Every structure is written in structure tokens, then in C-alpha cells.
Amino acid sequence: MEVIRMTDQEFKKLSILIYEGYGIKMPVAKKVMLEGRLRKRLIITKMSSFTAYCNFLFSKEGMKNELIHMIDVVSTNKTDFFREPGHFNYMTDFLLLEFQKESRGKPLNIWSSASSSGEEAYTIAITIEEFYKQNKTFDYSVFCTDISSEVIKKGVQGIYDESRISNIPLNIKKKYFLKGKEGNNNKVRVVPELRKKMTFNRLNLMDDSYSVPYDFDVIFCRNVLIYFDKQVQERVINKLCNKLKKGGILFLGHSESIAGINVPLETISPTIYRKV
């Protein structure tokens, strides 16, 4: 069977749409990757060529119904439980201790702004639960957003392959994950007590403003800015800071920084920042 190919013109048209609408850089070197991922959508939409698919995508119906599915397959959703553990160590050793002293009964509100399928958000909740155990002096909630509607569904369900938690200590697994039964014995599910702390919504960080329920004490935005250029990074971080309380903490990914951009943040530690 002949492999369906994308023309340079079609790639350019799609890459402009992806960048302008979602901030994701799509250089020519990623053409083969984009082809491969979008072939799934050609099969599902029963399109015989990228020309037909582009015509459909850029139509009124396509912009309404297909665009979200296209972004689902284009966006990268790499994540793990306890990824970049230094951030969770910082929460335990400094952030949560400080909040406990100053909270006066107020809840700790955290936003996982590129939450993917929920591993980061549930790790945040486990870290807090382990911190205060029997001494619960404050409550907390985790607001979770992602550009992909498909991974948001996974986060809501809180169901994962058991291999995803293989590196988590046994005592943590027993407390926070339920083993699957009746044909799902290779699956685990996050316990209801943690799932009820989560609110999942779809959100595009390229939106002009962010529709979120309140300002946050802590925002995680890790390993998403690397897909944006400096100009877009600055806009996104400033919009995040608009939803971060004064003195609040922003966590970025291990290869991200605020160097060379104008944002109201001071560096506490590499990839950890406080709003000033």
C-alpha cells in the first residue's frame, strides 16, 4: 500500500495553524513526525489524502469538530509519577512547611497547568498527603488543565497501567492506588480520596486569558514552554503570573528558565520561582 504523503505547502499551512493557535513550534524537521501522527486522523475521518484532510480541517465544520482532535494527536503528552522529584522534595522541605505556618486554615490551591493524563497532579496530592498525614492543618485542591481533551479524560479516570507506578515505593502504592480486578489486574486506579481533590478542564495556554476558578498559591507549568519561542514563553508566563498570588510559587521544567524574559518572578532555585 502506498504511504500517503504531505506536500510542503500542506505542512506549511498546518504548521502555521499549530503555531498561531497553540504556540507549538513546528519546524521543517518535524514534517515526518506530523505526517505520521496525522495519518491516524486521515483513517478516522476517512480521508484519502492530506489535501482532502486540510480542506476539511480548514472548513467551518472542521474548525468546529476536527481541530481539537488534530491537536490531541499533535501535542506531546510525556509525563510520569514523581517526574523531576526535586520539585516535590522542595514542596515537602520548604513550601508546605511555610504554608502550614501561615495558612491560618486557608486551603492550598494548586494549578497543574499542563497536567497531561494526571500523573503530575496526583503526585502533588500524594506529596501533600504524606506531608501532613495525621496533622491536617490545611486543606488543598488541585486544578488540572491540558490542551488535549483525550488526556484530560484519562486524568479524570485516574486509571493507569501498573507499570507506570513501578518506581513508586511499595508503601505509597498500597496507600494511594487500588489494584484492578476481573481482567484489569495489570491496571491500577488512584484512590477516591485523591481523585476528589482534582478538577480537570481543557485549557489552551495560548488563550488571551485563562478561565480558572481563583488565584493560586502554586502553579506547575513543566516541560511545555520548551515547545514555545521566547516571545510566546513570556506571554504565557505573564498570564500564569496573573493567576498566581503574590509570593506564590511557579515550577517550570528542568530545561526551562525565565532567563531573558520580562516576568514578575524571582528565582528561588533553578526552575523554582516566587512571584514578586
Which range of 135-144, 172-181, 245-254 scores highest in mean pLDDT? It is 245-254
DSSP 168: S
Mean model confidence pLDDT for the chain:
90
Strand runs labelled E in the chain: 108-112, 140-146, 159-161, 177-179, 187-190, 198-202, 216-221, 244-252, 265-269, 272-275
Global pTM value: 0.85
- What is the spatial distance between Cα 97 and Cα 102, in angstroms, rounded to a whole number? 9
Angle between helices 149-157 and 67-74 (to 10 degrees): 70
State the fold for domain 8-74: Chemotaxis Receptor Methyltransferase Cher; domain 1 (1.10.155)
Instruction: Determine the average pLDDT of the residues in 103-118.
Output: 91
State the fold for domain 86-275: Rossmann fold (3.40.50)
Quote the pLDDT of residue 240: 97
Of the pLDDT bands very low, low, confident and very high (cuts 50, 70, 90), residue 134 is: low
Q: What percent of the chain has pLDDT over 70?
A: 97
Quote the pLDDT of residue 147: 87
Instruction: Determine the average pLDDT of the residues in 59-82.
Output: 84
- Name the residue with higher pLDDT: 218 or 148: 218
Question: Which residues, in sequence order, are bridge partners of residue 201?
Answer: 145
- The amino acid present at 75, given as its one-letter code, is S
Instruction: Please return the burial class of 29, using the count of CB atoms within 10 Å of its CB with bins 0-12, 13-18 and 19+.
Output: exposed
Query: What digits encode the pLDDT tens for the residues 9-43?
Result: 999 999 999 888 888 888 899 899 999 889 989 98
Quote the pLDDT of residue 130: 93
Quote the pLDDT of residue 26: 85
Query: What digits encode the pLDDT tens for the residues 193-225?
Result: 999 999 999 999 988 889 898 999 999 999 888
Quote the pLDDT of residue 183: 64
Of the pLDDT bands very low, low, confident and very high (cuts 50, 70, 90), residue 111 is: very high
- What is the spatial distance between Cα 192 and Cα 203, in angstroms, rounded to a whole number? 24
Quote the pLDDT of residue 1: 53
How many other C-beta atoms are found inside a 10 Å radius of the C-beta of residue 130? 16
Same fold across 8-74 and 86-275: no
pLDDT(63) > 90: no
Q: What is the DSSP string of 119-148?
A: HHHHHHHHHHHHHHTT-----EEEEEEES-
Lowest mean pLDDT among 57-66, 179-188, 223-232: 179-188
How many other C-beta atoms are found inside a 10 Å radius of the C-beta of residue 246? 10
List the domain boundaries for the chain. Answer: 8-74, 86-275
Quote the pLDDT of residue 253: 92
- Name the residue with higher pLDDT: 163 or 183: 163
How many other C-beta atoms are found inside a 10 Å radius of the C-beta of residue 156? 15
